[in-house]
Amino acid sequence: MQRPVTALQNRLLEALPAEDFARIAHHLVPVELERGRLLYEPGDNIDVVYFPHNGVISLMTLMENGAAIESTTIGPEGAMGLMSAVAPRQSLSRAIVQTPLRASRIAADRLHEAWEKSPALRSLVDRHTEALYGHAIQSVACNALHSVEARFCRWLLTCHDRISGDTVALTQEFLADMLGVQRTTVTAVARSLQDKGIIRYRRGVVDIVDRPGLLTLSCECYGVIRGNYQRLLGVSPGKNDLRAERRERFGSAG
């Protein structure tokens, strides 16, 4: 069965053998979702799985006082709600569209039917779960141990990998939630990066001017997370090969 072009833009769907992809192909529905669209709140039943083609979904951990921080992101390398293919699941996080999103969605019960019949899909779900878990625990360490500037650079690189173009449109409040800091801190860090010629920052918009510069200032977590996806799924969230980027930036020692 020939795959539709839209399906090939999600790397998990690309990884499925053609026969296994055919089990779900006619149940996949293309959608376009605006930035800020709420997909799930904690405790919601996950009845639809999203396979992003272009864009980012953020998983936010919420506190009783209303504070929130991003625990992980999902883009074209993954899927939102994939564990519901195994059994009914409830969301543990707030899932929100971080950038304008093109995706394919499928009813969880339809994906479960395919999961029961497809060893390849079962393996993919297991490996994706492990990669997402690794992403989350690396984010925990990063939020505790690394500077706001390094985390901001990591976040911009992660977002840049999952979108087309170099412009990220988001509000100062949204950025503050992503990083778990005050909006004044976001402004100070963004202005510092702009002064270094790495980004252009204006209200609600970040233009990435110097990606290698972001790579220099980012913490190690960016590479660790990318490496985990590559090792477990054979796919990388990145636009480019990270080792080649580092060699270009740092020379043979990078």
Residue 78, beta-bridge partner list: none
83 & 186 share domain: no
Contacts of 106 (CB under 8 A, 6+ apart): 24, 27, 28, 29, 48, 49, 51
Owning domain of residue 182:
143-250
26-73 pLDDT, tens digit per residue, is: 999 999 999 889 999 999 999 999 999 999 999 998 888 888 888 889
207 & 106 share domain: no
Which range among 66-70, 105-109, 123-127 shows the weakest confidence by mean pLDDT?
Answer: 66-70
Contacts of 127 (CB under 8 A, 6+ apart): 232, 233
When pLDDT is cut at 50, 70 and 90, the band that residue 6 belongs to is very low
107 & 11 share domain: yes
Counting Cα atoms < 13 Å in the Cβ hemisphere of 200 gives 4
163 & 213 share domain: yes
Share of the chain above pLDDT 90, in %: 63
25 & 110 share domain: yes
Residue 132 is assigned to a structural domain of this protein: no
pLDDT of 79 reads: 96
The pair of three-digit structure tokens given for residue 114, joined into one six-digit string: 């395919």
pLDDT of 176 reads: 82
The predicted model scores a pTM of 0.85
